[in-house]
Homo-oligomer: A and B are copies of this chain.
């Protein structure tokens, strides 16, 4: 038992952090929001150089995966820097294609995975049960729709719509298009893709929440009101302490879910999704409140994380949906008809 990131993973996180800091990701996110994908594509290429896109697929497809812990490490940093784009979706698409191949449907993986792994293709996808929209279809060359036992290559999307998180764009895949896979392997592959999507989103939330906390702590240390730093007021301190408690107890769930991603059951990944989403959102609420009006200004970069925390909270299914999945299933025959407190 060694439930700690090793030196290599820490170095990986540091290198991503350095790369993304240098890339000025707030400006990249704003450009992406304005429909200019070029700076984002440049970041995407640099991420590809670090191997971020190789972590899901296995060696048969030029990947080095499955390495869910590394994916979690990477997505914490991607969240911390508010990197825009269908990153989670590309990882989930890789998982989908990989699992299809493992279950005997190898053609789609052979055709599509190598360019995903190389970072040359951005993919987006919709999975059953988690909402009708795909993210950033306008910036993806591959739109996968999984439904009714089929994996389709959608021929495009219904018009692209704006999210309250400006860099996100949502659209429903068009019907029709090439059927890449059908049959019994599809449902399992979709579940496998959803596990990765949830894990990556949880990790991203953790990074978003941490960035919000870091910025807020820095702000309240220097901002003074009534002659003292805002950060010396006990109400401010306690609110930020509670944010830290939330994030620090979500963190082991995220990495725990990565360690057990291959195991049966939804419990760990659901717990990670719920806890990280809630912790990030709590961090956002505190960050806005403690920044005051400046935090409410779209020109101030804090807004990039604030709005993303809300959007990610509901991405890939609501927190209530995932709470339901976090519970162990009822043993058969255990349920009695009524609560003991109600008249029987």
Q: Which residues of A contact B (CB under 8 A)?
A: 128-129, 131-132, 147, 233-235, 238, 318, 341-344
Q: Which residues of B have CB within 8 Å of A341?
A: 131, 318
Instruction: Name 7 extra pairs, CB < 8 A, besides A131-B341, A131-B342.
Output: A128-B343, A129-B343, A132-B343, A147-B343, A234-B234, A235-B238, A318-B341
Q: Which residues of B have CB within 8 Å of A233?
A: 234
A318 to B128 CA separation, bound complex (whole angstroms) = 36
Question: How many subunits of this chain does the assembly comprise?
Answer: 2
Q: Which residues of B have CB within 8 Å of A234?
A: 233-235
14 sample A-B contacts, Cβ–Cβ < 8 Å, listed by A number: A128-B343, A129-B343, A131-B341, A131-B342, A131-B343, A132-B343, A132-B344, A147-B343, A233-B234, A234-B234, A234-B235, A235-B235, A235-B238, A318-B341
A147 to B131 CA separation, bound complex (whole angstroms) = 46
Query: Quick one: closest B residue to A234, CB to CB?
Result: B234
- State how many angstroms separate the Cβ of A13 from the closest Cβ of chain B: 34
A88 to B197 CA separation, bound complex (whole angstroms) = 54
Query: Quick one: closest B residue to A314, CB to CB?
Result: B341
Query: Quick one: closest B residue to A126, CB to CB?
Result: B343
A344 to B147 CA separation, bound complex (whole angstroms) = 12
